[in-house]
Copies of this chain bind each other. A is one copy, B any other.
Amino acid sequence: MRDAEKLAAPRTVAGHDAVPDYHRPLLAPLTDSIRQLVDATVRTEVDDDELRRAHREIAAIAARLQARQMPGSYGQRVAAGSARFWGNPVVGVRNAIAPPLVIEYDDSGRVSAEFHLGAAYEGPSGLVHGGVSALLLDQILGDAAAAGGKPGMTGTLTLRYRRGTPLGALRAEAWIERVEGFKTFVAGHLLDADGPTVQAEGVFIVPRWARGEAGAGEWAQAMPDRFA
């Protein structure tokens, strides 16, 4: 866990743009309330006037948050020696699309996450959307590659859907199969209480620009703090 980050005063982040960012404990409840709102909008049955009122109020809040904002996307930032993927749609503390996954690392290099997927992640009735499974597996396989010391971008990703993944409590796991130069071959799966539902294999490749001395340093800086 990132206790240092929780306790630290806001710092200027380095990497892409030098702008301050918030404390995680300030942002997390805001993002979580938006996750609730996303879920509620999928499932609500309130009357039309209530929907219209919610729309007006939400548009006004969004406008207030937009009154001062970074011009582009969040990027990958480094603050106090620790990387921030706060905009990331799988793990980001600023991103209500993210369930979010909290990635755990064990000493063997295996990475895992336990999480809950609700109505906003549904494809076929009662089941996780196949593309959502792919989204989450891409992230966790990439995290396993990074845990091996060679963080990379996805080169190929292959998914085998063994059966439907029910909405609810789920787990994802990933591990490195082998490393060849700048390529890390990773495998993993998504599981419910009865075992694997989707199996994944991926090749993650260190970007060309990050292969030199200087590039590697900058690229590594943008990885989780265990690799900084």
Contacts and interface: CB of A to CB of B under 8 A. Distances in A.
15 contacts: A22-B48, A22-B51, A27-B51, A34-B41, A38-B38, A43-B74, A44-B69, A73-B119, A73-B122, A89-B120, A89-B121, A131-B138, A132-B135, A156-B160, A157-B159
A122 B88 contact: yes
A80 interface: no
Interface residues of A, number: 87
B55 A29 contact: yes
Interface in A54-106: 54-55, 57-59, 61-62, 64-70, 72-76, 86-90, 92, 94-97
Given A40-B65, A42-B74, A130 B126 contact: no
B42 A61 contact: no
Given A29-B55, A61-B57, A19 B45 contact: yes
A40 B62 contact: yes
Contacts of A120: 87, 89, 95-97
